[in-house]
Amino acid sequence: MSRMRQQYTNKTPAYPVYALLLCLIFSISSGVLADSKQNIVIISSSNSTYQKQTASKLHEKLEANGAMAMIISADDIISSSQNVKTLYVAIGEHAIKSLHEFDSHAFVLRINSRKIPGSKYTSAQSDLITAQPECRHIQLIKSLNPDWSTVAVLSSVDSLDIAAALTKCTIRQNLNLKVYAITDKSDLLETLETAVEDNDVLLAITDPFIYNSHTVKNILLTAYRHRKPVIGYSDSFVQAGAVAAIYTSPESIGNKASRIISGFFDNNWQFDKNMYSTDDFSISTNTHVATSLEIILPSKESIRKSMEKRP
C-alpha cells in the first residue's frame, strides 16, 4: 500500500491524465448505453384533443413495455436533444412538418389520418395511417339506412384518390356516388348547397382543404338546413353535428403504434414497411341530430354487425 501511495505521490502530474481517461471511458460507455436504449420522443399538436389523447395512450403503452418515452408539443420541438439516438413519433400534420424542419433525416413514425403529399421513405421513416378504409364508410351508410341511395362527396385535387376508391365501393353496395370538385375555397358553399340538395347524405372525407376548423361548422349548418345528414370521419365531427362516423380511437392507435415501434427496435432501428394501417374501428352516433332530422338510428352493436356482413 505504501509503495502505491509513494508512486502516486511522486507522479502527481499523471493524475489529471488518469482522471481524463476515466471520464473519456465513462462518456463512451454512456453513449453506447444510451444508443442501445429505446429513447422515444412523441410529438403532438398542442391544440388537438384527439392528438393529445393518442399521445397519452401511446406513452402509457410504451412505458408499460419498458421504453423511455416523453411527450412534447410540436411548438417545443427545438428544445429536444439530438445528442441521443432517438425515435420520434410525430402525430398530425403540424407535428410532422415541424419535425421535418427540425431534422429531415430523423428516425420517425408519422401518425396521421392520411399520407402527407410528397412523403419520402427510408427504412428509418414510416407512416401509420389512421383513416378508416374508404369502403367502411360506405358500409356504414348502408347500415345506417338502406333506403339512402345517393351519396355526395366534396373533393379537392388532394383527395381525388379517396373519391376514386369510394366510387368503387359504392358500386359494390348499389349506391350512387356523386363527386363535387372544389377547386377554389370561394366555391365551397355554393357547391355544398347543390350537393346536399340533390343527394340523400353527405359523406365527409379527410381533405383539410375542404374540412377544417374554419369550414366544418358552416358545412354542418348548411346540411342541417337542407334536412340532410352528414357522415363524418371522427368522433369530434359527430359531436359537432354529424349524424355518425367510424374512426380509429386513440387507444387503438396507441396499441398499433406500440407494436410497430417494438418491431422497429427488434429490427435494428428499421421499419419493415413504408406504410401501416389500423384494423380496428369505433362507431360514434349523434342521436340528438338524428332525431331532429327524423332519422331512426340502429344501435351501435347492430351497425357493427351489419357492417361486418357487408362485402
Shared-domain flag, residues 85 and 143: no
Secondary structure class of 276 (helix, strand, coil): strand
**What is the chain's mean pLDDT, rounded?**
87
What percent of the chain clears pLDDT 70, i.e. is strictly above it?
86
pLDDT tier at 133, thresholds 50, 70, 90: very high
- Same domain for 160 and 272? no
pLDDT value for 78: 66
Interacting residues of 274 by C-beta distance below 8 A, sequence separation 6+: 121, 126, 127
Ramachandran quadrant class, 227 (left: phi over 0; alpha: psi -120 to 50; beta: rest): left
pLDDT of 31 over the 50 cut: no
Bridge partners, residue 72, by sequence: 43
Report the alpha-carbon angle 200-278-249, nearest 5: 70
Secondary structure, 3-state, 110-179:
EEECCCCCCCCCECCEEEEECCCCHHHHHHHHHHHCCCCCEEEEEECHHHHHHHHHHHHHHHHCCCEEEE
Cα 230 to Cα 8, 152, 224, 264, distances in angstroms: 83, 10, 8, 39
pLDDT score at 82: 56
**CATH code of residue 191:** 3.40.50.2300
Handedness of CA 41, 44, 49, 54 (dihedral sign): negative
pLDDT band at 83 (very low <50, low <70, confident <90, very high): low
User: How many C-beta neighbours within 10 Å does residue 5 have?
Assistant: 9
Is the pLDDT at 121 greater than 90? The verdict is: no
DSSP characters for 179-248? Answer: EEE--SGGGHHHHHHHHHHHSSEEE--S-TTTSSTTTHHHHHHHHHHTT--EEESSHHHHHHT-SEEEE-
The cell numbers describing 222, all together, are 348548411
Judgement on whether residues 105 and 240 belong to the same structural domain of the protein: no
| Amino acid (1-letter code) at residue 244 | A
| 296 & 177 share domain | yes
Give residue-wise pLDDT tens across range 184-235. Answer: 999 999 999 999 999 999 999 999 999 999 999 999 999 999 999 999 999 9
The lowest-confidence range among 33-47, 95-109, 251-265, 275-289 is 33-47
What's residue 34's pLDDT? 40
Q: Are residues 243 and 271 in the same domain?
A: no
**88 & 177 share domain:** no
Sequence-distant (≥ 6) Cβ neighbours of residue 250 within 8 angstroms: 50, 53, 54, 56, 57
Residues contacting residue 45 through CB under 8 Å, at least 6 positions apart: 51, 73, 74, 91, 92, 94, 95
pLDDT of residue 106: 92
Q: Higher-confidence residue: 27 or 145? A: 145
Q: Which three cell numbers stand for residue 302?
A: 347492430
Q: Are residues 20 and 61 in the same domain?
A: no
Q: pLDDT at position 120, please?
A: 78
H helices of 2-108, in order, are 2-10, 14-36, 49-64, 93-102
Q: Are residues 298 and 224 in the same domain?
A: yes
Please list, in sequence order, all residues whose beta carbon lies within 8 angstroms of the beta carbon of residue 138, skipping any fewer than 6 positions away.
151, 166, 169, 170, 172, 173, 175, 203
214 and 231 in a single domain? The answer is yes
Clarify whether residues 50 and 125 are in a common domain. Answer: yes
Give the pLDDT band (50/70/90) at residue 122: confident
Note the pLDDT tens digit of each residue in 143-200. Answer: 999 999 999 999 999 899 999 999 999 999 999 999 999 999 999 999 999 999 999 9
- Whether 308 has a pLDDT exceeding 50, the answer reads yes
- Please indicate, yes or no, whether residues 160 and 204 belong to a single structural domain of this protein: yes
End-to-end alpha-carbon separation of the chain, Å? 85
User: Are residues 64 and 88 part of one domain?
Assistant: yes
Query: How many domains does the structure of the chain reveal?
Result: 3
The residue range of the domain holding 69 is 37-130+250-277
